[in-house]
């Protein structure tokens, strides 16, 4: 027998919206199942049933913005903590990159529900994504995401000589963290003291902890790419809109 599934969950699976968005739209009467308006939260559907959304929902979704920021050191990704300022505080007209090609006009309403899709440690810099769009957040931080994130990591070897090739291979595959094996990573030398890390997961302080396991001390860490979206020439402390042609 085919099992019933929550309508909001099914909409999220189909990429129509995030679950939270779906619940908002259902409450507003903007969702139809097989042509019938469904306005009761918690309603369930069968996987084969046709789900459509009203034009108002699509119009509201299209107004939601996603921004890229080059996070400086000393800013936290999410909520303000221990006296540190959250990165969203940098999203204001005067910090917008002068070379941003987007025709989008900045308005303070864009700060409403603008949340980080992923985290970047307080002492790390580089690409951070903030979005109002639940679909973008799900793509980047959903449970089954396979989006790559690339980092440039300046390191210092704390033992004699150079990092053995066997330990470089361990960084690529073979390390365990929090009782589980880490997914395979791509790690290679960029120059004498800088490594490039490409990961498909993001455990707390993962790169620093991985480096520590093989005797490397992290001196600096910068995220330069998330999926197909690159930090590029975006200056530190400035931001720009995600372009319509950019896909993670």
Query: Where do the structural domains in the chain lie, given as residue ranges?
Result: 5-62, 66-144+229-241, 149-226
- What does the pLDDT read at residue 1? 55
- What does the pLDDT read at residue 69? 98
- What does the pLDDT read at residue 84? 87
DSSP 102-150: --PPP-GGGGTT-EESS---TT-EEEEEEES-HHHHHHHHSTT----EE
Q: Which of 103-107, 135-139, 175-179, 240-244 has the lowest mean pLDDT?
A: 135-139
Q: Which of 33-42, 139-148, 199-208, 225-234 has the lowest mean pLDDT?
A: 139-148
Using DSSP's 3-state secondary structure scheme, residue 199 falls into: strand
> Is 167 considered catalytic here?
no
- Looking at residues 71-85, what average pLDDT do you find? 87
pLDDT in tens, 132-154: 988 888 889 877 778 999 999 99
Q: Which of 78-87, 89-98, 206-215, 234-243 has the lowest mean pLDDT?
A: 78-87
pTM listed for this prediction = 0.79
The answer to whether 51 and 7 are in contact (CB under 8 A) is yes
CATH architecture for segment(s) 5-62: Roll (3.10)
- What does the pLDDT read at residue 126? 98
Q: How far is CA 131 from CA 40, 51, 163, 215, in A?
A: 27, 25, 39, 37
Q: Tell which phi-psi region holds residue 69, choosing left (phi > 0), alpha (psi between -120 and 50) or beta.
A: beta
- The CATH class that applies to domain 66-144+229-241 reads alpha beta
CA–CA separation, 215 and 189 (whole Å): 15
- Looking at residues 36-63, what average pLDDT do you find? 89
Could you say which of 3.30.2350.10, 2.60.300.12, 3.40.50.300, 1.10.260.40 is the CATH number of the domain covering 149-226? Answer: 3.30.2350.10
pLDDT above 60: residue 202: yes
Looking at 100, 121, 167, 193, which residue is catalytic? Answer: 121
């Amino acid at each position: 027998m085919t099992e019933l599934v929550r309508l909001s969950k099914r909409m999220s699976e189909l990429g129509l919206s995030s679950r939270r968005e779906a619940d908002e739209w259902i409450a507003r009467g903007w969702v139809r199942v097989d042509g019938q308006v469904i306005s009761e939260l918690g309603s369930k559907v069968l996987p084969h049933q046709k789900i459509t959304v009203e034009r108002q929902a699509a119009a509201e979704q299209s107004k939601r913005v996603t921004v890229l920021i080059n996070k400086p050191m000393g800013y936290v990704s999410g909520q303000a903590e221990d006296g540190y300022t959250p990165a969203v505080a940098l999203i204001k007209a005067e910090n917008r990159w002068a070379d941003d090609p987007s025709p989008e006009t900045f308005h303070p309403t864009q700060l409403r529900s603008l949340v980080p899709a992923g985290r970047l440690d307080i002492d790390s810099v580089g690409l951070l994504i903030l979005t109002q769009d639940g679909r973008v957040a799900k793509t980047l931080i959903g449970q089954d995401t396979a989006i790559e994130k690339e980092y440039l990591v300046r390191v210092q070897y704390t033992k004699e000589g150079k990092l053995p090739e066997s330990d470089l291979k361990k960084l690529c595959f073979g390390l365990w963290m929090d009782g589980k094996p880490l997914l395979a990573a791509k790690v290679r030398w960029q120059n004498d003291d800088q490594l490039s890390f490409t990961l498909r997961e993001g455990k707390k302080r993962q790169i620093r902890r991985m480096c520590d396991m093989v005797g490397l001390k992290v001196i600096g860490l910068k995220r330069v790419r998330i999926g197909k979206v690159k930090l590029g020439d975006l200056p530190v402390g400035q931001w720009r809109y995600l372009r319509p042609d950019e896909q993670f």
